[in-house]
Structure 1
Amino acid sequence: MNKILVPVDGSAASEKAAIKAVQIARKYGGDIVFLSVADVRGKFAYMGDGVVTLPVNHAQISAMLLENQTKMLDVFEGIVNTEGVKVEKKVLAGVPYEEIIKYADENKTDLIIMSRRGYSKVRRFFVGSITQRVIADAPCPVLVINEDDQ
């Protein structure tokens, strides 16, 4: 188990996934990548005639989102005790599940450990689930830690 990818969104659920990843990395000698994806979709303006335009400050908004994700990872790394484990932090921009899968594939990840919040089946149907999409298309095994797991 050489490379463990842990998608992080700053939630308590992703903290639990990170803690589990550190335990596994310590036991099997693996390295961890904490990955956060700034979702820059939806930053477009739709005109009445159906024309899509970028807002004047789209680049500025995207840069701000990336900066916020980087700060969140810095704080997150301070919360999770990673002593004795090699940890890398990575921030990407894009559609979260697509970027997680792409990163795992391109970097020959051995295991993805991620969280899932306790949404009902109905809510997951309407809002979608990044975790569900990663499980379906990941190039490696995915260990899912539920928000309410101990």
Structure 2
Amino acid sequence: MKILVPVDGSSASVNAVKKAIEIAKKYGFSIKLISVVDVSAMPKYRRNDKLWGQVDGSIIGHGARMPEMDEVLIGFKENAAKILDAVEADLDFQGVKVEKRVLVGAPYEEILETARNEKFDLIVMGNRGFSKIKRFFVGSVAQKVISEATCPVLVIHSDASF
């Protein structure tokens, strides 16, 4: 039996990992921790051409150049891997088989695809706690996963205590 746990470094996702460990130890599950680099959050630009986008609140254009996409992506992937390593180092996975992987794409799509393709039995994930207004406009990764997952989804809130 396998548990998939998306991790973004938030307190809700760390609480989800804690709950997944608890379940895994009790029922003999393995855990796969994933962190998804959200490419939709990256500035839009074309290689070797003018950039039109927004980075850190400032408008870029008129011949300004950004670092190559590969360099930006590598930095985001390295940061995601550090988050997974920190979670693994900080929590007690003793007796639980754990795997880590960094993915690139839209978070909810990557979570759903991984769960489906690798036949996970359970997804345990955090709820970032968006306000109702923000959730209406941007949606919630957890809501999208719940509505489309082919396996059960357990959502853990950031204020849950373990």
TM > 0.5 fold call: yes
Task: Trace 1:1-150 onto structure 2 (pairs within 5 A).
Answer: 2-41=1-40, 42-45=42-45, 47=52, 57-150=68-161
**How many residues were matched structurally?**
144
Contact 2:10 2:128 in 1 (8 A): no
The structural deviation recorded for 1:80 is 1.6
Unaligned runs of 5+ in 2: 46-50, 54-64
Q: Give me the CA root mean square deviation.
A: 1.7
Give distance in 1, aligned partners of 2:29 and 2:150: 18
Could you list the structure 1 runs, at least 4 aligned residues long, displaced by more than 3 angstroms after superposition: none
- The 1:47–1:69 alpha-carbon spacing in structure 2 relative to 1, beyond 3 Å, is closer
Unaligned runs of 5+ in 1: 49-53
Aligned residue for 1:126, secondary structure, equals helix
Give distance in 2, aligned partners of 1:92 and 1:5: 13
Q: Which has the larger radius of gyration?
A: 2
Contact 1:117 1:146 in 2 (8 A): yes
The structural deviation recorded for 1:133 is 0.6
Contact 1:118 1:148 in 2 (8 A): no
1:51 aligns to what?
none
The percentage of counterpart residues that share the same residue type is 50
Instruction: Show CA shifts across 1:27-47 (max 9, x none).
Output: 110000011001122331365
Aligned residue for 1:17, secondary structure, equals helix
Give distance in 1, aligned partners of 2:124 and 2:52: 41
Give distance in 2, aligned partners of 1:43 and 1:117: 23
